[in-house]
Every structure is written in C-alpha cells, then in structure tokens.
Amino acid sequence: MKGQASMDFLMVMSLLFIILVPTVSLFYNYTRSTREQAAITQSGTLAKQIISNAEKVYYFGFGSRLTLELTMPEGVNSIKVAPHGILEGQKELVINVTTGDGYAEIVSLSKVPLETADFTGALQDEKVTSGYKRIQVEAKKDPAGLLYVEIRVMQ
C-alpha cells in the first residue's frame, strides 16, 4: 500500500510538472507582452498630461505653476526633452520605456518650449522610478527673456 501511495504521488507530481512547465512558460511570455503594452499605453497618457499642462502654464504666463500627481508606470528609463541645445526648438517630450528586447520611445509634441530644471534635457534619473510622482511644470524666462516651461520631478 505504501509503495502504491509513493508511486501515485510520484506520478501525479510528474504529470503536474510536465503540464505546468510549458504552461507557465507560455503564460509568462504572454503576460510579459501584455505588461509591456500596458506600460507603453500608460507612458503615452503620462506624456500627454505633462504636455497639456505645460501648454497651460505657458499661456497663463510667466510665474504660473501646476503640480501634477501622476503614477509612473514600470519600465520607464528616462524622460527627456528633445532636441536639446536650442531652447526654442525643444518641443518633444520623450519617455523611454524598456521592453523585452530593447526599448521603445513614447513621443509627444509640445506647442511650447520645454526645459528641465538642470538644463540637461533629462529629468533626474534617480527620481524617474515607477509609482506615485509629483511633477511640476512652471513657466519661466531664460536670460534672453524668452518664456519656456520647466519640468521637474518633485518626488
């Protein structure tokens, strides 16, 4: 009887193992792809919210400021403004998201010039992590007196 019980156990376990391994692998790949799609979609929404509010503060005028409370999705590597170097030309907000085999860029076009707080064109990497974030957009003037919108991650 004891022998049969062990044999039954072994067989059930092997069966489970044989069924589970390919199934887990199949579903792992499937959910990974779904997770990436969700991150890309969320990043697109995030970029549009930042741009929309940046345009608002720009047209409200110098000194206007808005603080956005947003959730940064998983997989976001960096947030940059491009092309960087000439303030008036900086109208692209680029969110770089990691995908399975590389990265994808989510791009939003702004009607107004954008800049980061440290003038490097990139938001501080250590603050660009997943989860709740407060992002501040503020209308400022450069030394030449031209209006631009500064984007800053508060936390």
Least distance between other proteins and beta carbon 117 (Å): 21
Q: Is the dihedral of CA 35, 127, 55, 110 positive or negative?
A: negative
Tokens 């067989």 appear where?
11
Which residue, 21 or 154, is less far from other proteins as judged by CB? Answer: 21
Q: How far is the CB of 33 from other proteins (least distance, A)?
A: 5
Residues that bind other proteins (CB under 8 A): 1, 4, 7-8, 11, 14-15, 18-19, 22, 26, 29-30, 33, 36-37, 40-41, 44, 82-83, 91-92, 94, 99-111
Q: In whole angstroms, how far apart are CA 13 and each of 17, 23, 100? A: 6, 15, 32
Q: Check: CB of residue 70 under 8 Å from CB of residue 135.
A: yes
Quote the least distance from Cβ 43 to other proteins, whole Å. 9
Cα(first)–Cα(last) distance of the chain, in Å? 64
Nearer to other proteins by Cβ, of 70 and 136: the residue is 70
